[in-house]
Amino acid sequence: MIKTKILLLAVFVCLFCAANLYAQSEEKFDFYTRGEYRPQVPRPQSILRYDVGDFHTTYAQMEKVIEAIAKAAPDRVKIYDIGLTNEYRMQHIVAISSPENMARLDEIKANNQRLVDSRATNPAQAAQISQNQPVISWMAYTIHGNESASFETMMQVVYQLAASDQLETQAILQNNVVLIITGENPDGHERFATWYNSVATGNADRNALEHREPWSIWGRYNHFRFDLNRDNIAATQVETKNLQKAFFEWNPQIVVDHHGQPSQFFFPPAALPINPNLPQPQTNRWMEIFGRANARSFDANRWDYYVRDIFDLFYPGYWDSYPSLNGAIGMTYETDGGGFKGLNWTRDDGTIVTFRSAIAKHFVASMTTLETAAKNRADRLKDYYDFRRTGIDEVRTEKIKRIVIDPSRDWVKTADLIEILQRARIEVRWSPNFTQTSAHDYADGKNSTAAKSKTFTGGAYIVDLAQPQKRLAKAILEPDTPQDAAFVRDQMAKFRRNELRGKLQSKEEYAFYDITAWNLPLAFGVDAYWSENAATIPNANLIDENFLAQLRAQKIRFTRAEIAYIIPYSQDAAAIAAIRLLKANFRVSVATRTLNALGTNFPSGTFVIRVGRNQPTIHQAIENLAQELGLTVFAVNTGFQDAGDTGIGGENVVALQNPKIAMIADEAVSQTSYGSLWWTLDRYKIEFTPLTINSIRGGALKNYTVLIAPDGAAGRYSSALGAGGITTLKTWINGGGTLITMRGSSVFAALKDVGLTSSKLVGSDDDEDLDKKPKENDVDKRQEAESQPSPSPTPAPNRNRQAEPEASPTPEPRTDKQDWQSPMLPPIASPSANAGKVPEPIPGAIMRATVDRTNYLTYGIETETLPVLLASGYFFRPSKEGTNALVFEAQPKQLLTVAGFVWEGNTEKLLRGTAYLIDEPTGSGHVILFAEEPFFRGIFRSTTRPFFNSILFNGSF
Ligand SMILES: [Zn+2]
């Protein structure tokens, strides 16, 4: 009776608090059973004023918590500031260890540093160091800002380690230096937490508003909408730079990246494929040790989990694979609640997963991991040392021993690449002039060609793989990373079975998690070679941190001109300078023929700035740009050319227009695509205006000459614009506007009822090359599948990375590790009659495009071919009415695939004779179609010049 009364009272009270009502469906986890606790250390709740999992903590509140704890426990805790985010939040590392370890932190760091170079420390010395050395455990939280359970967990872990006198916790502190990364993505977290707190009712209904994060919030990404868990390869984002700097200062042996939120908790062992540069069986052995320990803890709590599924270890840019390639054991943990699931979420069996329970699971996994690290301390340190030692050894038996990177294609862009390597502590040499024998050209890719001797008279960078960072260097630089043969066979078998399935039958899902090619030289569009021959080059010296600055000082050329400035288009910076000058209302021209000046021929595409046509401030403006962008500028003091018909005053030196740039920023648009364009324009200080589709329909385009449509779902572009919006767009283009589309937005342009191009999508309903036309419009279906949120936001059981809750209206047509908003391109619903006629989407490979060098879109490209990323099944027939500036040859002498995985019997065959870059003149304007994003993740930059050309030159020809 009394019990009933209490229960009734509880229910009554909880009517005012929906969260707790649902939370009663499971036992409330107690975070404070691992004491005794030191009373002077404040619990997070005493500062936050709410219980664990009742509310989302903002970044500033969290800072108050860790500061209060650090202040109360100075013997164990020290906070390091490691750098600002784009939105001026400070990123922190909280170092926690025993008082004895804290008193000698610098010594521990220095000893640890000695374990990374086996050339300076022999195994006996390493063993000696390891005896009295704790492991460094890097516990990172909230890289995806909307995976909110990890953020709250972090404060509980900090408190536990700072306050508890429990024996097990003491053992952790004695054997670990724990580095808590308090927020890998503070800006994304803040967007999500503030939004969620402001709308949430704690409702478990999957359709509730709080489970549908708006486009402009989407806290997974950082400020520039980059996925920070893909960014380690090129470290484009400030958060990645902050973290990498700290990472290489501490050299941790254990790394855990805390995420959310699949159906059940995930911890390693990881799924296949595993990057072949990781040493086996060591990598698997450590994943087993930690995995089994976590399993014991979870079994004891009767919590569900899975291992060896979905979350792979192949792409080297994740925060598990990248640390692993540095000798740590890098692990991804995924808890099952919080984030889009909010405070409460109904599972597929009707039970409720709460925010608090998701925090509890991460908390237990964090503590178990640190206990396991403590128990295996000596063994882990030994393996960490051996990782680099054996890495150096294995070069002897491997083919690729040296990589040479040639800066002649663009020295600034190459310097950016070298800076990435320096940041990753990869040793790079420079020789001003040398010959490399048996050099294999990266551009040949999968086509085996004979090695040649190659002389670098202008100097080149040399990466010898026999160095401590061998495994990481090879993983991000090798021309192609081989896939496991059995894994590929398995995927090919699925592909063949899928081809036979009817259009209404669901297809088997492939296990690729991410792109399969990323090597930095090809991604950047920089020339590179590898060699079996690593014989010493006498004048090759290790470059230090000042080298690039010194090179820059040498390379920048500026002298004041009397008549004109010439900016040769031999670096991306030339186009950027031209746009910047135009936008500052200076007058810039381009030579459309070979230009002769200073006794030299400059190819068409060379920029000319005439002194007499500009204000006197032009001199300073150009000098400033030269300094900022690393520009080579020539001064011309006479208009009379020595040869040819075109000098700086020639008829074929044509004036360029000041581009007024807008970009679509709206729900049809892929956030990461928009983000990569935003970041690129921002880093070059090129101003643009983000516009919603509603504004465009309402006539906002009249103030602009260029409209960039980032990748997005074609069907959504179409429905958001509507017939009226499409007409508005066409009228604007006819009147002289330039529309730039890429990938999904190019598919939109090619849709029959949109008709912005004469190109057709290969395998689509209106593709004439498809013999037997299906009755229904397959392309539309395919688009639909990508673009429309499923009617119910119900994740399918198990493989639910494909069936995200559709909180985001912007599913991205690419598989994305733990990206619940990004289903992989669904297999095209083609009837089996069309088997072999419809391109199967590829996860992401580097392909060889052939350059039409007579077109203004390819100004600045002086090679016959260009490596480009392709990560879809969108292949475009050549335009019949426009120009096809980059194409895939119809009868190539070599494979079109340079690096990465493609579908045998499908990709190469169907890609032949298609176009990558199309200029479709329309009235007085242009539609420019790219088959893929030009700046994918900020890593791929080989199409930088075509992209800027499409902004620069339209309206002029
Ligand atoms: Zn995540």
Q: Are strands 254-260 and 329-335 parallel, antiparallel or unpaired?
A: parallel
What CA–CA distance (Å, rounded) separates 319 from 832?
40
User: In this structure, are residues 590 and 656 in contact, taking their beta carbons and an 8 Å threshold?
Assistant: yes
Q: How far is the CA of 40 from the centre of ligand 1 (A)?
A: 35
Q: How far is the CA of 498 from the centre of ligand 1 (A)?
A: 30
pLDDT at 765: 83
Rounded average pLDDT over 68-86:
98
Q: How far is the CA of 750 from the centre of ligand 1 (A)?
A: 34
What CA–CA distance (Å, rounded) separates 400 from 879?
41
| pLDDT, tens digit (0-9, with 9 covering 90-100), for 108-138 | 999 999 999 999 999 999 999 999 999 999 9
Q: How far is the CA of 176 from the centre of ligand 1 (A)?
A: 25
pTM of the complete model: 0.92
Q: How far is the CA of 125 from the centre of ligand 1 (A)?
A: 39
* pLDDT band at residue 843 using 50, 70 and 90 as cut-offs: very high
Instruction: Give buried/exposed letters for 275-297 (b at 16+ CB in 10 A, else e).
Output: bebbbeeebbebbebbbebbeeb
* pLDDT band at residue 789 using 50, 70 and 90 as cut-offs: very low
Q: How far is the CA of 221 from the centre of ligand 1 (A)?
A: 10
* pLDDT band at residue 65 using 50, 70 and 90 as cut-offs: very high
pLDDT at 774: 37
pLDDT at 805: 33
Counting Cβ atoms within 10 Å, is residue 769 exposed (0-12), middle (13-18) or buried (19+)?
A: exposed
User: In this structure, are residues 401 and 533 in contact, taking their beta carbons and an 8 Å threshold?
Assistant: yes
For residue 255, which of 355, 391, 143, 335 has the smallest C-alpha distance? 143
Q: How far is the CA of 527 from the centre of ligand 1 (A)?
A: 34
Q: How far is the CA of 633 from the centre of ligand 1 (A)?
A: 45
pLDDT at 776: 36
Rounded average pLDDT over 257-263:
96
pLDDT value at 385 more than 80: yes
| pLDDT, tens digit (0-9, with 9 covering 90-100), for 629-645 | 999 999 999 999 898 99
Rounded average pLDDT over 26-33:
91
> Tokens representing 80?
């390091």
Q: How far is the CA of 872 from the centre of ligand 1 (A)?
A: 23
Q: How far is the CA of 628 from the centre of ligand 1 (A)?
A: 36
pLDDT at 833: 57
| pLDDT, tens digit (0-9, with 9 covering 90-100), for 903-944 | 999 999 999 999 999 999 999 999 999 999 999 999 999 999
Rounded average pLDDT over 701-729:
97
| H-helix or E-strand spanning residue 697 | helix 693-697
Q: How far is the CA of 475 from the centre of ligand 1 (A)?
A: 22
Q: How many CB atoms lie within 10 A of CB 735?
A: 14
Chain centroid to CA 154: 25
Phi, psi of 714, deg, nearest 5? -55, -45
pLDDT value at 558 more than 70: yes
What CA–CA distance (Å, rounded) separates 33 from 223?
38
Chain centroid to CA 726: 32
**Single-letter amino acid code for the residue at 499:** E
pLDDT value at 358 more than 80: yes
Q: How far is the CA of 26 from the centre of ligand 1 (A)?
A: 25
| pLDDT, tens digit (0-9, with 9 covering 90-100), for 489-520 | 999 999 999 988 887 888 899 999 999 999 99
- The more confidently predicted of residues 116 and 830 is 116
- Supply the mean pLDDT for the chain: 90
Q: How far is the CA of 371 from the centre of ligand 1 (A)?
A: 24
Q: How far is the CA of 819 from the centre of ligand 1 (A)?
A: 7
* pLDDT band at residue 829 using 50, 70 and 90 as cut-offs: very low
Q: How far is the CA of 894 from the centre of ligand 1 (A)?
A: 39
**What is the 8-class DSSP label of residue 313?**
B
What CA–CA distance (Å, rounded) separates 553 from 334?
47
Q: How far is the CA of 817 from the centre of ligand 1 (A)?
A: 7
Rounded average pLDDT over 241-267:
97
User: In this structure, are residues 461 and 407 in contact, taking their beta carbons and an 8 Å threshold?
Assistant: yes
**What is the 8-class DSSP label of residue 634?**
E
Q: How far is the CA of 225 from the centre of ligand 1 (A)?
A: 14
Q: How far is the CA of 186 from the centre of ligand 1 (A)?
A: 14
> Tokens representing 430?
């420079």
> Tokens representing 877?
């027939």
% of the chain beyond a pLDDT of 70: 90
Rounded average pLDDT over 680-707:
97
| pLDDT, tens digit (0-9, with 9 covering 90-100), for 409-437 | 999 999 999 999 999 999 999 999 999 99
Q: How far is the CA of 759 from the centre of ligand 1 (A)?
A: 38
DSSP per-residue codes, 556-592? -B----SSEEEE-SSSHHHHHHHHHHHHTT---EEES
% of the chain beyond a pLDDT of 90: 86
Q: How far is the CA of 10 from the centre of ligand 1 (A)?
A: 36
| pLDDT, tens digit (0-9, with 9 covering 90-100), for 146-205 | 999 999 999 999 999 999 999 999 999 999 999 999 999 999 999 999 999 999 999 999
Q: How far is the CA of 788 from the centre of ligand 1 (A)?
A: 23
3-state helix, strand, coil in the chain (%, to 5): 35, 20, 45
Q: How far is the CA of 270 from the centre of ligand 1 (A)?
A: 15
Q: How far is the CA of 403 from the centre of ligand 1 (A)?
A: 33
pLDDT at 510: 93
**Single-letter amino acid code for the residue at 46:** S
3-state secondary structure 154-213: HHHHHHHHHHECCHHHHHHHHHEEEEEECCCCHHHHHHHHHHHHHHCCCCCCCCCHHHCC
Q: How far is the CA of 275 from the centre of ligand 1 (A)?
A: 20
* pLDDT band at residue 446 using 50, 70 and 90 as cut-offs: confident
